[in-house]
Amino acid sequence: MQADIQINARWVAPLSASHSRTVLHNQAVFVKDGKILAIQDQQATSHEADQVVELNDHILLPGYVNAHGHAAMSLFRGLADDLPLMTWLNEHIWPAEAKWTTGEFVLDGTRLAIAEMLKCGTTTYSDMYFYPHQGAQAAVESGIRNVSFTPILDFPTNFAQNADDYIEKAVAAHKHYHNQPRITLGLGPHAPYTVSDAPLKEVTTLADQLDIPVQIHLHETAFEVAQSLEEKGKRPTQRLADLGFLTERVSCVHMTQISDDDIQILKQTGASVVHCPESNLKLASGFCPTAKLLSNGINLGLGTDGAASNNDLNIQGEMKTAAMLAKAVAEDAAALPAWQALEMATIGSAKSLGIDDQVGSLDVGKWADMQAVNLSQLGQNPLYDPISQLVYTDSSRATEYVWVEGKALLEKGQLSEASGLDEEQLIANAVQWQKKISQN
């Protein structure tokens, strides 16, 4: 069969069920109609292609899946640093959002975020932010894959007035993008302390009816847990379990304050955890016990959170931080080895978003969402183990190619015409936003 593209790479890390922790050498990956057609030895291929890409110094692997973020908040990067979470939210971020968050803000901020993520090897990102129509529009225009969780809160914002209003707008966004293959619209109740029981129950019912994913910030700080015990008489995870909210559809973001009972609830319900180590560290929120979660069979994804609390969207850096932090928390240098960290950033994140049947590994029939990293540069040598090099060095600077559905959005380290993104224009626009926000 004639393929559209043949990519010859020195190393290929499929992360597939058949080659889960194996690096293949001198392989050819064939792409047809945006999907992976075959992976074969370069010397024994049975296909031909219209285009051949030679990557003699590169490792080809699935694109990273950033399982949690707030893309438009890239325009708030560095706006309020070195503050605890509730001070950061109540005194800085929420007032700034009340003043500046509009459809235009979301469109511009999301474009900036997408460009940054593409240059770091991300092919899918999760977004939880207001004005999902504009956020999804930016994703459609650029060619990246997006899972968008429309926020739901009990109180009013620029976007909606109450929980019913948020939910109505979330359903409308889902209907609008339902037939767009690269866009998934889900439901994003912000957190147990900002959403009451009735809307949480409605979210569960709607998610089942519409067959869509759900994401929630959960157990982010000790204060959140203490407040829930005082007001509800139970921990947030127990409250959500009692409401029937926690299911395999749900990804729980942060989870820094976890008891053995919480772990058992996650295990029983099948909910995933999305780890955001750098945001948690910066806000001093606590430590997610990733090694303990993994040993209990709980699926883990990896996210950057928003640029306002990280302050970058580099999932490769997040992968390194996650691996190193896990060792310190577990007091075990063998905790979360390089392969597991890479799985969190790819197939684990895809599973947490409910799209692991489409992306997250290089499998025949899955979408050709891939990245190629040059491992011949100064900071990558000497090279004994390509996976170790990916995780423990700053390999994001060596990301040279990114494909989504077989379309090259990054070529030789530069955003391609197919992405529709102009780096100089994005920077100039961000500077204009910075001037407006700084003056008010």
- pLDDT by 10s per residue, the chain, length 440: 799 999 999 999 999 988 879 999 999 999 999 999 999 999 988 889 999 999 999 999 999 999 999 999 999 999 999 998 889 989 999 999 999 999 999 999 999 999 999 999 999 999 999 999 999 999 999 999 999 999 999 999 999 999 999 999 999 999 999 999 999 999 999 999 999 999 999 999 999 999 999 999 999 999 999 999 999 999 999 999 999 999 999 999 999 999 999 999 999 999 999 999 999 999 999 999 999 999 999 999 999 999 999 999 999 999 999 999 999 999 999 999 999 999 999 999 999 999 999 999 999 999 999 999 999 999 999 999 999 999 999 888 899 999 999 999 999 999 999 999 999 999 999 999 999 999 86
With CA atoms as reference, report the closest residue to 277 among 314, 247, 242, 244: 314
With CA atoms as reference, report the closest residue to 369 among 187, 215, 212, 181: 181
d(CA 148, CA 160) in angstroms, rounded, equals 17
Question: Hey, which CATH number is domain 2-62+367-405, 2.30.40.10, 3.40.50.970, 3.30.450.20, 2.30.110.10?
Answer: 2.30.40.10
Sign of torsion over alpha carbons 337, 20, 301, 34: positive
Start-end ranges of CATH 3.20.20.140 in the chain?
64-352
Beta carbons within 10 angstroms of residue 253's beta carbon: 30
The whole-number pLDDT of residue 86 equals 86
Start-end ranges of CATH 2.30.40.10 in the chain?
2-62+367-405
With CA atoms as reference, report the closest residue to 303 among 271, 335, 344, 338: 344
Bond prior to 382 in cis (omega within 30° of 0): yes
Structure tokens at 411: 């070529």
Q: Assign 3-class secondary structure to 345-373.
A: HHHHHHHHCCCCCCCCCCCCCCECCEEEE
CB 284 within 8 A of CB 99: no
Q: For 288, how many CA atoms within 13 A lie in the half-sphere containing its CB?
A: 31
Q: What CA–CA distances, in Å, run from 213 to 140, 201, 343?
A: 19, 14, 20
Q: At which residue do the structure tokens 């080659």 appear?
A: 19
d(CA 123, CA 381) in angstroms, rounded, equals 26
CB 406 within 8 A of CB 4: yes
- Helices 197-210 & 163-177, crossing angle to 10 degrees? 10
The whole-number pLDDT of residue 19 equals 83
- Helices 132-142 & 103-119, crossing angle to 10 degrees? 40
Strand-strand pairing, 414-415 and 407-411: antiparallel
3-state helix, strand, coil in the chain (%, to 5): 40, 25, 35
The phi and psi torsions of 438 (rounded to 5 degrees) equal: -70, -30
Question: Hey, which CATH number is domain 64-352, 3.30.2320.80, 3.20.20.140, 2.40.30.170, 1.10.150.120?
Answer: 3.20.20.140
